[in-house]
């Protein structure tokens, strides 16, 4: 695996290839990231990953400074997974001056759910992804479905700007008990890790009820919130939305259930397509 730290080195190395397949990450890699690398490999003639902890998508009270940086382990994992090229810029390289030009996704998609509870989050995500796309110039980019709303926002951005990039969604990788793999799972205590599976179980219960024909979605959402709250969680949302735009569903719509909740000091998200 070749490692580069500057945009100039990156572009020089990629000159010999025609179809880069790209997996952007913030490091602290787990099996979910490596599955995305494996998914990307057959889609291009070179597989590129990036590691960059993007300050723009963290709110002032969030964990930018303490977000785990696990460089040596990340490099070993990427090489073992078959990544060809790692782009790992520092902040000065990617943001050599204040990033005053920013991407502002539409409010109806980006200011709901995650965007409501983390205002400005998708501005930061879209801005760094657009910049990474400009650096790597991939023909394919793979993003995990665990961040369902993020995947939808990025797909819409690529579509509206007519970027020549195919956006591929990777299925959520789960632990044997069903917990969605996440870098933030490392913050959980042993007891919290045992309890954490309840988020996916609550979403699974919602999905099962919807498949069985339940029509009172509001009652279903309220029950899921009450269930987690009674177990000591602090849920932000537990909702059923239509997959196409994450708006309130109408009869016949294809659905996805999404949840976000704090367990202790750790905020977890998950979703299931119905």
Question: What is the number of other CB atoms lying within 10 angstroms of the CB of residue 35?
Answer: 19
Reported as type and span, the H/E element at residue 272 is strand 266-273
Q: Where are the alpha helices (DSSP H) in 61-145?
A: 71-81, 91-94, 107-110, 114-117, 121-136
Distance (Å) of CA 219 to CA 114, 210, 257, 264: 21, 12, 14, 26
Q: Based on the residue annotation, tell me whether 104 is a catalytic residue of this protein.
A: no
Burial of 143 (0-12, 13-18, 19+ CB in 10 A): buried
Active-site entry in 5, 13, 33, 104: 33
Note whether 172 and 259 are within 8 A (CB): no
Residues assigned a catalytic role = 33
């Amino acid at each position: 695996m070749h490692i580069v730290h500057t945009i100039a080195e990156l572009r020089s190395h990629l000159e010999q290839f025609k179809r880069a397949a790209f997996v952007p990450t913030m490091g602290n890699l787990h099996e979910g990231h490596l599955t995305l690398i494996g998914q990307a490999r057959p889609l291009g003639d070179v597989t590129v990953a990036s590691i960059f902890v993007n300050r723009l998508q963290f709110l002032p009270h969030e964990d930018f400074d303490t977000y785990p940086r696990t460089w040596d382990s990340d490099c070993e994992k990427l090489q073992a997974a078959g990544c060809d090229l790692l782009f790992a810029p520092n902040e000065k390289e990617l943001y050599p001056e204040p990033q005053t030009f920013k991407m502002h996704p539409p409010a109806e998609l980006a200011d709901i759910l995650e965007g409501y509870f983390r205002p400005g989050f998708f501005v930061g995500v879209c801005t760094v992804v657009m910049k990474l796309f400009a650096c790597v110039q991939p023909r394919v980019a793979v993003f995990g479905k665990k961040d369902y709303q993020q995947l939808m926002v990025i797909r819409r951005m690529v579509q509206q700007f007519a970027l020549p990039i195919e956006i591929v969604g990777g299925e959520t990788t789960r632990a044997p008990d069903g917990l969605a793999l996440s870098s933030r799972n490392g913050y959980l205590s042993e007891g919290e890790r045992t309890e954490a599976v309840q988020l996916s179980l609550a979403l699974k219960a919602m999905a099962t009820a919807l498949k069985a024909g339940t029509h009172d979605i509001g009652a279903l959402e309220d029950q899921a919130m009450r269930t987690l709250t009674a177990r000591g969680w602090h849920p932000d949302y537990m909702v059923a939305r239509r997959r196409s735009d994450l708006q309130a569903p109408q009869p016949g719509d294809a659905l996805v259930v999404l949840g976000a909740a704090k367990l202790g000091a750790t905020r977890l998200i998950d979703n299931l397509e119905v």
